[in-house]
């Protein structure tokens, strides 16, 4: 198991080797060729035309024609590239790169604890970021939109731009989100249900807005900027205020037929079990999310007098007690870890991913993924005789989610600009 530290988001902002999925040749032939070319260049960072032709298995003439169009559109640019053992003679090598200034997008993550936002350019470089703390609890739609507007304006001010200079905004919230329709069917931060959040946010902000579930945002961040760039199939499980999951299938995020799939936190692990915040009982989330751990602590440790304290304070105290050897505190984490192992074994049995990434604020609590609890995955997963998927711990900060929202916006802008046409070329 590999553990990545909390300093990773700062590295995600510096796009040295490109951003976006690194898709193998001949696996994405359904997409317009000029879109494939653009995405290949963005993923590589800088790449010669001849290498693009080799990677996509198309003729150099086709690449030359289409990259010329992309340069004329202001989406790509030519960059002088240093040759190996350059003698200084002859014409300098030329590579293609994304024209970073072509578009700016914002990524916004709204949550119970802290709102975060970033601005990135069209090459994926981080331009600015901003955080805003908030009190937990559900907000009415008007208050949520006002909060979003304030946060976007604040991060634009940090970047030194106006809001209308943004091409798109990616917006993430926890809960059940139909990304294709821009509808939030339920969220712990919204008092209303079935809210057309994308439509109302567009009216409030005057910029195209794309909405998604927060677990999908973490998955997009891994797919565009992190460990998932070269992987065809991987899962991300987030443990924070709730339990979420995102899944990448053939280098693309999978959302289900109605856009509401991958709700691992609301799979049932015990009939008529503990009450989940979704209103049902026996959900996995009801045993390992932060509110579940806090609920166990107030009962097992007789902390009824602490009910007025925030969940974060209760959890920090619980963790301190566990570290100090308190058997009741340790048993709470151990029980939660066993339920987590059960959930992960189910993910392995159903999807057989190359990698499972555990992410979120609660991954700081190493008792949740201690060796003696996650070792149960082996006994719960199917015994095929083949190695189990790797499991990595990515205890990143809140900017990770906003980076995922920015990736959502970048993907939408790219699709709008390049995804509608069908190119007929000689290959």
Q: Are 389 and 353 in contact (CB under 8 A)?
A: yes
Residues 202-222 have a mean pLDDT of 95
Give the span between the Cα atoms of 415 and 115, in whole angstroms: 27
At the topology level of CATH, where does 31-101 sit? Arc Repressor Mutant, subunit A (1.10.10)
CATH 3.30.420.40 boundaries in the chain: 102-220+400-416, 230-396
Look up residue 144 and give its two tokens.
Answer: 């949520």
Indicate whether 11 pLDDT > 60: no
Q: Could you tell me whether strands 2-4 and 46-47 are parallel, antiparallel, or unpaired per DSSP bridges?
A: unpaired
Look up residue 58 and give its two tokens.
Answer: 């198309």
Q: Find residue 97's DSSP bridge partners.
A: 46, 77
Residues 279-290 have a mean pLDDT of 92
Q: What is the pLDDT of residue 309?
A: 73
Indicate whether 348 pLDDT > 80: yes
Indicate whether 404 pLDDT > 90: yes
Indicate whether 87 pLDDT > 70: no
Look up residue 81 and give its two tokens.
Answer: 């590239």
CATH 1.10.10.10 boundaries in the chain: 31-101
Burial 70-82 (b: 16+ CB within 10 A, else e): beeeebbbebeee
3-class secondary structure, 415:
helix
Q: Find residue 168's DSSP bridge partners.
A: 105
Write the CB contacts of 308 (distance below 8 Å, at least 6 apart in sequence). none
Binned at pLDDT 50, 70 and 90, residue 145 comes out as: very high
Binned at pLDDT 50, 70 and 90, residue 5 comes out as: very low
What sign has the CA pseudo-torsion 355, 356, 360, 363? Answer: negative
What sign has the CA pseudo-torsion 393, 395, 398, 399? Answer: negative
What sign has the CA pseudo-torsion 212, 217, 221, 223? Answer: negative
Please name which of 277, 364, 360 lies closest in space to residue 316, comparing C-alpha atoms: 364
pLDDT digits (tens, 9 = 90+) for 94-117: 899 999 999 999 999 998 878 999
Give the span between the Cα atoms of 380 and 349, in whole angstroms: 9
- DSSP label at residue 143: H
Q: Are 201 and 169 in contact (CB under 8 A)?
A: yes
pLDDT digits (tens, 9 = 90+) for 213-271: 989 999 999 999 988 999 999 999 988 778 999 999 999 999 888 877 899 999 999 99
Q: Are 382 and 349 in contact (CB under 8 A)?
A: yes
Q: What is the pLDDT of residue 360?
A: 76
Residues 411-424 have a mean pLDDT of 75
Average pLDDT, the chain: 86
Architecture of domain 230-396: 2-Layer Sandwich (3.30)
With 0-12 CB in 10 A as exposed, 13-18 as middle and 19+ as buried, what is 270? Answer: middle
Give 4-8 contacts, CB < 8 A, sequence gap 24+. Answer: 4/227, 4/392, 4/393, 4/394, 4/395, 4/396, 5/395, 6/364, 6/395, 6/396, 6/397, 8/226, 8/394, 8/396, 8/400
At the topology level of CATH, where does 102-220+400-416 sit? Nucleotidyltransferase; domain 5 (3.30.420)
Indicate whether 39 pLDDT > 90: yes
Look up residue 266 and give its two tokens.
Answer: 């609301």
Q: Find residue 255's DSSP bridge partners.
A: none
Q: What is the pTM of this model?
A: 0.86
Indicate whether 54 pLDDT > 70: yes
Look up residue 16 and give its two tokens.
Answer: 């040295």
Give the span between the Cα atoms of 392 and 349, in whole angstroms: 18
């Amino acid at each position: 198991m590999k553990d990545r530290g909390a300093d990773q988001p700062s590295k995600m902002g510096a796009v040295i080797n490109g951003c976006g999925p690194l898709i193998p040749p001949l696996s994405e032939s359904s997409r317009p060729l000029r879109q494939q070319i653009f995405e290949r260049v963005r993923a590589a960072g800088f790449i010669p035309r001849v290498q693009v032709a080799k990677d996509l298995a198309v003729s150099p003439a086709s690449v030359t024609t289409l990259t010329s169009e992309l340069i004329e559109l202001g989406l790509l640019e030519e960059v002088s590239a240093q040759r190996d053992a350059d003698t200084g003679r002859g014409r300098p090598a030329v590579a293609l790169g994304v024209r970073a200034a072509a578009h700016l997008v914002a990524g916004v993550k709204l949550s119970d604890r802290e709102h975060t936002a970033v601005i990135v350019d069209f090459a994926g470089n981080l331009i600015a970021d901003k955080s805003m703390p908030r009190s937990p609890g559900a907000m009415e739609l008007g208050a949520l939109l006002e909060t979003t507007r304030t946060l976007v304006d604040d991060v634009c001010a940090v970047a030194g731009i106006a809001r209308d200079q943004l091409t798109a905004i990616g917006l993430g919230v926890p809960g059940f989100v139909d990304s294709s329709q821009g509808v939030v069917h339920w969220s712990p931060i919204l008092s209303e249900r079935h809210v057309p959040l994308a439509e109302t946010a567009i009216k409030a902000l005057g910029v195209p807005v794309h909405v998604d579930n927060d677990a999908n945002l973490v998955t997009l961040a891994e797919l565009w900027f992190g460990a998932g760039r070269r992987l065809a199939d991987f899962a991300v499980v987030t443990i924070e205020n709730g339990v979420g999951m995102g899944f990448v299938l053939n280098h693309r995020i999978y959302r289900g037929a109605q856009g509401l799939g991958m709700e691992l936190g609301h799979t049932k692990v015990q009939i008529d079990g503990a009450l989940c915040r979704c209103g049902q009982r026996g959900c996995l989330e009801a045993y390992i999310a932060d509110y579940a751990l806090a609920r166990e602590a107030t009962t097992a440790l007789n902390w009824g007098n602490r009910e007025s304290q925030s969940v974060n304070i209760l959890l920090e105290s619980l963790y301190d007690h566990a570290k100090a050897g308190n058997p009741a505190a340790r048993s709470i984490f151990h029980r939660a870890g066993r339920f987590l192992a059960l959930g992960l074994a189910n993910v392995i049995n159903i999807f057989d991913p190359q990698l499972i990434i555990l992410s979120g604020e609660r991954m700081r609590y190493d008792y949740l993924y201690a060796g003696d609890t996650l070792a149960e995955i082996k006994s719960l997963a199917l015994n095929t005789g083949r190695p189990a998927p790797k499991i990595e711990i990515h205890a990143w900060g809140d900017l990770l989610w906003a980076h995922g929202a920015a990736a959502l916006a970048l993907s939408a802008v790219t699709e709008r600009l390049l995804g509608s046409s069908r190119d007929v070329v000689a290959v």
